[in-house]
Structure 1
Amino acid sequence: MRNPNGYGTVFKLSGNRRKPFVARKTVGFNDKGHPIYEPIGYYAERKDAMMALAAYNLSPYDLVSRKLTFSELYDLFVEQKYTDNDKKISNGYAAAYKACSNIHDIIFSDLRTAQLQKEINNWDKGYASKKNMRILFNFLYKFAMQNDIVDKNYASFIELTLPDEDTEQLHKPFTTEELATLWENAADRSAQYVLIYCYSGLRPTELIRIKTVDVHLDDRYMVGGIKNRTSKNRAIPIAEKIYPFIAAMYNPDNEFLVTDFDGPLSYDRINWRYWKPLMQKLDMDHLPHDGRHTCATLLDNCGANKTVIKKILGHAGLGTTEKVYTHKTIKQLIDTINLI
């Protein structure tokens, strides 16, 4: 039975092929009136090709975009999500893209989990860098699905194995001796950032996103937080030990609490400009998130109330009445954070 005009065709290619049947659509005509074809896909059985052609006609997509390589899709993603919005993609994601050069020229829709997993496994970097690569892959698949380039996110099946040394690294609080060294260097803005993490429980990204209008110096608390419902917009007590740092950073003319000489700080900038140089200077081996683990450990060691610890760290939601940040709630959080 002949297919309707414009429906497309299925035919068998010559030779001994693993997938000899091709489904294709006419996408235009050349100067001589001859049809220009774009393949939908190649299949082992005719019925599979017919099903693919039927699925395409039921929900057409851009066949040309389906032929974008990994590199071409990345460039399009960066342009639309970052460049057009006057933003710069983070150094972590840019490094991840550069590291997976083996798949740059592969058609994005042809990629599968095994190829993506291989790029991550073969990258001679630590857990955090490999996690950035996985995040980038997921971003690209989400972007591709939004534009009907792929139907399935193969990056969602990637597995990250955490080596023993990385496990220890990711959950290693600062020791008592290291905290003493940080206080000895408290005049250094870099050390101040580390101490704020350790005595507030803030995630690194949470600190740089706190707006000045949400800093209540007189009442000794800030409002901020990211990640999930229980962490967002929580009351963050300002411990007496770090109050001078917060007060010195506070400038009502700035949108954000944490700024630098050339504007607001990004996670990458605070990491490369302050964290890493300080760790090297003091001969310490810690990741920025270790400050949060340090706060949790210090609170636990001093016997603080478990529920209050969760409220400070954003691990548990505030009750209906507490969500308005009553004086009783704030005092409870401040008294607890001042135990460390």
Structure 2
Amino acid sequence: MFFDMIKIWDWESLFPASQDTIKWEGGPMNCRKCGVALPEKAAFCPACGVKQAVSARKPKRRGNGQGTVVKRGKTYTAICTKFIAGKRITFSKGGFATKKEALDYIPNLKPAPCSVAPKITLKELFERWKPFYSPRVGETTMQGYDAAFHWLQALHLLPFAALSTDDWQGCVDACPRGRRTKENMKSLGMALYKYAATLRVVDHNYAQYIWCGSDTTGTRPPITMEELETIRKAIGREAYADYVYCMCYTGFRPTAFLSLTKTAFDPVNGCLCGGIKTKAGKNRIVTISPKIMPIIQARAACAAPYLFPSLETGKMMTEAEFRNGVFKPLMAKLGIKDRTPYSCRHTFSNLMKNVPGSDTDKAALMGHMDASMTKYYQTPDYESLKRITDLL
């Protein structure tokens, strides 16, 4: 009945052509919903009323990573996200009265252009980085980085941005030194990539994937309790045995230990004040164990300005002089093998492991800002492990 009534109507006036009219070629057109045959140029179905033209989705004006605009309160904010050195960083600016103003500002949110030549070489970047980084660490740390840089000689003249993990790994694998030197090479690479990211030279840190190997060459095993007792018994009989014994109970780095002056000893509070290398390690307070207090008091009464000088000259010894002329000969006489002056520092950390106290205080005695670094110096031993299982 309904269709019979509308047959007499003017289809064109009832369903006028519009911009949404579907252009159909090759036969009659049916409704996309109910299937009823439609008059020519119909924009709507006369039976169900469904619009026949499907509006195409408007394409995005900006692709991914090209920014967006959000409304916050009564103003608009332009936002642009970039990945720099592997980290997602968002740049934004708000306060725009209209959306168009915010959209127009998006290009200004991009990171600043590279402040140095994009093809800067590893050597050029290293020379630029040294004065930037050296005030943050001690002299010995920078000397370690200089040595690590030497073993990267094959990469010195290559553009830093073009270096891959394979390039770094090749130098590390070719280095004839031990694991510690290779770890320094990786640490230097990590620091250079972070610095290069601030200059917009790179946006990813490829040094983080360097593998330093599983060998233990260059590690510093601590002096055992039996060996420590051997050193104690040698005091008064073997020259410099008291020096090594004191090193094991103070935890100073070799150079810091040898540079202690008599003014570093506070007899009233029973402590030493000294240290080098890091901010936490410089001029730190180390309380003196009763086991070495008589030795420290005797050394402070000597005429030399240093607590632990050369017994021949009375002058301060360098770390190399102490290691080669004092420590190694003494260890050979006592039958102690595979130990270095740094083993004394690891021994001090191991001794603290068995003493109750907060990790923060133990880290302060070691000259560490992070307690986790102190645990790195500690080595599991049979007695400590057995003490734990006996309490289970």
Q: For the superposition of Structure 1 and Structure 2, which TM-score range results when normalised by the shorter chain?
A: 0.5 to 0.7
Take 1:186 and 1:72, find their aligned partners in 2: how far apart are those partners? 54
The correspondence for 2:114, drawn from 43, 57, 61, is: 61
In the other structure, the counterpart of 2:299 is 248
Equivalent pair of 2:274/2:285 in contact (CA under 8 Å):
yes
Show the 5 A alignment for 1:298-313.
298=351, 305-307=355-357, 311-312=361-362
Stretch of structure 1 that moved more, 231-240 or 114-123:
231-240
- Cα distance, 1:186–1:146 mapped onto 2, change above 3 Å: farther
Show the 5 A alignment for 1:167-178.
169-174=219-224, 176-177=226-227
Take 2:109 and 2:261, find their aligned partners in 1: how far apart are those partners? 49
Equivalent pair of 2:231/2:241 in contact (CA under 8 Å):
no
In the other structure, the counterpart of 1:147 is 199
Show the 5 A alignment for 1:1-340.
58-62=111-115, 64=117, 66-78=118-130, 90-163=142-215, 165-166=216-217, 169-174=219-224, 176-177=226-227, 180-181=230-231, 184=234, 191-204=241-254, 207=257, 215-223=265-273, 233=284, 235-241=286-292, 243-245=294-296, 248=299, 269-270=318-319, 272-281=320-329, 282-283=331-332, 284-298=337-351, 305-307=355-357, 311-312=361-362, 314=364
Amino acid at match of 2:287: I
TM-score by length of 2: 0.48
Equivalent pair of 1:201/1:312 in contact (CA under 8 Å):
no
Q: Secondary structure at the match of 1:293?
A: helix
Take 1:262 and 1:111, find their aligned partners in 2: how far apart are those partners? 50
Equivalent pair of 1:131/1:160 in contact (CA under 8 Å):
yes
Take 2:293 and 2:149, find their aligned partners in 1: how far apart are those partners? 38
Take 1:139 and 1:264, find their aligned partners in 2: how far apart are those partners? 33
Output one character per residue of 1:87-106: Cα deviation in whole Å (capped at 9) or x when no partner: 79854333322222211121
Q: Secondary structure at the match of 2:272?
A: strand
Amino acid at match of 1:275: R
Take 2:198 and 2:298, find their aligned partners in 1: how far apart are those partners? 44
Deviation of the 1:289 alpha carbon: 3.3
Output one character per residue of 1:189-243: Cα deviation in whole Å (capped at 9) or x when no partner: 8655532221223454764787876642232123567879899955533444255
Q: Secondary structure at the match of 2:123?
A: helix
Structure 2: gaps of 5 or more residues: 1-106, 367-392
Take 2:222 and 2:269, find their aligned partners in 1: how far apart are those partners? 32
Equivalent pair of 1:96/1:129 in contact (CA under 8 Å):
yes
Take 1:73 and 1:228, find their aligned partners in 2: how far apart are those partners? 25
Amino acid at match of 1:61: C
Take 1:203 and 1:173, find their aligned partners in 2: how far apart are those partners? 15
- Cα distance, 1:230–1:102 mapped onto 2, change above 3 Å: closer
- Cα distance, 1:102–1:236 mapped onto 2, change above 3 Å: same
Take 1:237 and 1:231, find their aligned partners in 2: how far apart are those partners? 17
Higher Rg: 2
Deviation of the 1:179 alpha carbon: 5.2
Take 1:262 and 1:91, find their aligned partners in 2: how far apart are those partners? 27
Amino acid at match of 2:321: R
Equivalent pair of 1:223/1:233 in contact (CA under 8 Å):
yes
Equivalent pair of 1:112/1:154 in contact (CA under 8 Å):
yes
Output one character per residue of 1:104-158: Cα deviation in whole Å (capped at 9) or x when no partner: 1211111122321221122111122212222222332333334333333322333
Take 1:91 and 1:187, find their aligned partners in 2: how far apart are those partners? 36
- Cα distance, 1:223–1:89 mapped onto 2, change above 3 Å: closer
In the other structure, the counterpart of 1:39 is none
Stretch of structure 1 that moved more, 170-179 or 214-223:
170-179
Equivalent pair of 2:258/2:308 in contact (CA under 8 Å):
yes
Equivalent pair of 2:327/2:340 in contact (CA under 8 Å):
no
Amino acid at match of 2:210: I
Which structure's relative contact order is higher, taking Cα pairs within 8 Å and 6+ residues apart?
1
Equivalent pair of 2:190/2:208 in contact (CA under 8 Å):
yes
Take 1:144 and 1:203, find their aligned partners in 2: how far apart are those partners? 32
Amino acid at match of 2:292: K
CA RMSD between the two structures:
4.8
Give the number of equivalent residue pairs: 250
Q: Secondary structure at the match of 2:244?
A: helix
Output one character per residue of 1:290-320: Cα deviation in whole Å (capped at 9) or x when no partner: 21332354566xxx6432798456489xxxx
Take 1:115 and 1:208, find their aligned partners in 2: how far apart are those partners? 40
